[in-house]
Structure 1
Amino acid sequence: MFGISTYCLHREPLATALDRLAPVTDCVEVMDEGLHYLASAEPLESYSYLYFIHAPSRGVNIASLLEPIRRASVEVLTETFEIAAEVGADVVVHPGYYAWLEERDRAAGKFRQSLEELKAAAAECSVTFFVENMGNWEYFFLRSCEDLPLIDGIGLALDVGHANLNGCLDCFLAHPTAHFHLHDNKGDDDTHSPVGAGTIDFAAVMKAVQKNNVVPIVEVETFEGVTASIAALEAIDAGARGE
């Protein structure tokens, strides 16, 4: 089974997106931003999906050296955990960033502090969360495998497109992974293109998905790209199984 991110329909109201995805999948990751922002679990309760929630990331920085911003960021994510608990969803969060290279070590400390607070909040809500690797955006944590020790004890949400941008997909694929975001690119821009439209070796990706035994999320920019991606991935998966 392949899950689908509501990102492909982010210009449509959430209810419209959920209705359109119903014939295609039983698993949805809600991009908790823009028109799909979740003020409560109510919009999700009318559907029988297996849910994941991609927590808000715009303006959220759990590695901020500005303590009011760091605390508020943790609070935003904790509210997401509370909503996720109502629908039995796991949550994906971003790792945060630093403004100046000279501040990296201090920001790493704040990142660790926030993760400890989030672990406590997740435990209180009985929710599981994962931290996503970032694309080629300067000053973000978790762009490469070198930062994996920062999230020790917390599951990795491997965005294969982001890893491809940083030239380290093979390294990430070798790491135990709790969650996958699948989309393609040519290694220079985060295009969220359909599978097969870029340079990613999805045969290797699917081997890692099977090894980790998780439901991968197709996070492509358009609905048409999602359906094309699922067809391509099913063909790759069948080929790997010798069907």
Structure 2
Amino acid sequence: MIGISTYCLIEEPLSDALDRLSAHTRLIEVMDEGLHSVTSPELFGSYSADFTIHAPFHGLNIACVFEPIRTASVGVITDCFAVAAEIGAPVVLHPGYFAWENERELAGRQFKKSLRELNAAARDLSVTFSFENMGGMNFFNLRTPDDLAIIEGSKFTLDVGHANLNRCLPGFLATPFSHLHLHDNNGKQDSHSTVGEGNIDFRPVISAMKQKNATAVIEVKSFDGAVESLRILERW
């Protein structure tokens, strides 16, 4: 199943975004940020679509070397888990980052601490979550297939655009994943472009998605681009 992220309508109220997207897809990923912050699970009861939630990430860092920030970040995501549990939605997370190369090891230990806490919260709330691979900036965790060990067997969301930036999409397609974020780029900028506007060959992506029985959402920056991307991908 291929759906659409509310990212393409992030400047509209969440209810309006859900109305517009539900006319085109049965799977919607809510980017839990800004106007789309998920505070009322009751909102989702009037829609027949299935939902996933992209947990908040601006200002958060579950690998932060400053313990109060790490703890607060885990708390915000745990609150997201609680809402996701009421909706019955899996959650996608960012894996955190380090600010300086000499903090990489400490940030890795902080991430492992957060992972233990998030696993416990997910068990308590009966929620599933996955980590997505990140883009081209050197300080992000989880940029290449070799980095997958850090998530210690947690579920994985393959962000196709981010993998293209790091020139490792074929390697990621060979790894286990349960969900995908689909958007195009030119291999240089994280533009979240419409499918076909960049240099990504999506045919092997769709083939791997089918083989792994994974879900996917289109995460492009415009509504028209999202609808066009869905039309193209469904044709394949």
Partner of 1:212: 212
Letter in 1 for 2:217: I
How far is the alpha carbon of 1:209 from its aligned partner? 0.5
Computed over aligned residues only, the root mean square deviation of the Cα atoms, in angstroms, reads: 0.9
Work out the CA distance in 2 between the residues paired with 1:42 and 1:31.
Answer: 17
Partner of 2:48: 48
Partner of 1:202: 202
Partner of 1:177: 177
Letter in 2 for 1:150: I
Query: Deviations 1:108-154 (Å, cap 9, x if unpaired)?
Result: 11111101110110011000000010001230100111210011220
The answer for unaligned runs of 5 or more in structure 2 is none
Work out the CA distance in 2 between the residues paired with 1:121 and 1:37.
Answer: 20
Q: Between Structure 1 and Structure 2, how many residues are aligned?
A: 236
Work out the CA distance in 2 between the residues paired with 1:47 and 1:122.
Answer: 25
Partner of 2:113: 113
Work out the CA distance in 2 between the residues paired with 1:192 and 1:99.
Answer: 24
How far is the alpha carbon of 1:44 from its aligned partner? 2.1
1:91 paired with 2:91, answer yes
Tell me if the contact between 2:22 and 2:28 (Cα under 8 Å) persists in the aligned partners. no
Work out the CA distance in 1 between the residues paired with 2:22 and 2:172.
Answer: 31
Work out the CA distance in 1 between the residues paired with 2:77 and 2:156.
Answer: 17
How far is the alpha carbon of 1:173 from its aligned partner? 0.7
The answer for unaligned runs of 5 or more in structure 1 is 237-243
Greater mean deviation of Cα atoms: 36-45 or 217-226: 36-45
Query: Deviations 1:194-217 (Å, cap 9, x if unpaired)?
Result: 111111110110011001102211
Work out the CA distance in 2 between the residues paired with 1:68 and 1:145.
Answer: 30
Letter in 1 for 2:154: I
Work out the CA distance in 1 between the residues paired with 2:222 and 2:65.
Answer: 36
Letter in 1 for 2:12: E
Query: Deviations 1:33-72 (Å, cap 9, x if unpaired)?
Result: 0110112323323222201000000011000010000000
Partner of 1:241: none
Work out the CA distance in 1 between the residues paired with 2:52 and 2:207.
Answer: 22
Partner of 1:18: 18
Work out the CA distance in 1 between the residues paired with 2:108 and 2:171.
Answer: 21
The 3-state SS of whatever aligns with 1:200 is: coil
Partner of 1:79: 79
Greater mean deviation of Cα atoms: 135-144 or 58-67: 135-144
Partner of 1:58: 58
Report the TM-score, using the length of structure 2 for normalisation: 0.98
**Aligned 1:159-178 pairs, distance under 5 A:** 159-178=159-178
The 3-state SS of whatever aligns with 2:215 is: coil
Letter in 2 for 1:118: L
1:70 paired with 2:62, answer no
How far is the alpha carbon of 1:8 from its aligned partner? 0.7
The 3-state SS of whatever aligns with 1:112 is: helix
Work out the CA distance in 1 between the residues paired with 2:66 and 2:105.
Answer: 14
Tell me if the contact between 2:30 and 2:54 (Cα under 8 Å) persists in the aligned partners. yes
1:221 paired with 2:235, answer no
Tell me if the contact between 2:135 and 2:166 (Cα under 8 Å) persists in the aligned partners. yes
Partner of 1:193: 193
Tell me if the contact between 2:64 and 2:107 (Cα under 8 Å) persists in the aligned partners. yes
Work out the CA distance in 1 between the residues paired with 2:180 and 2:218.
Answer: 8
Query: Deviations 1:132-182 (Å, cap 9, x if unpaired)?
Result: 100012301001112100112201111000000011111111100011000
The 3-state SS of whatever aligns with 1:84 is: helix
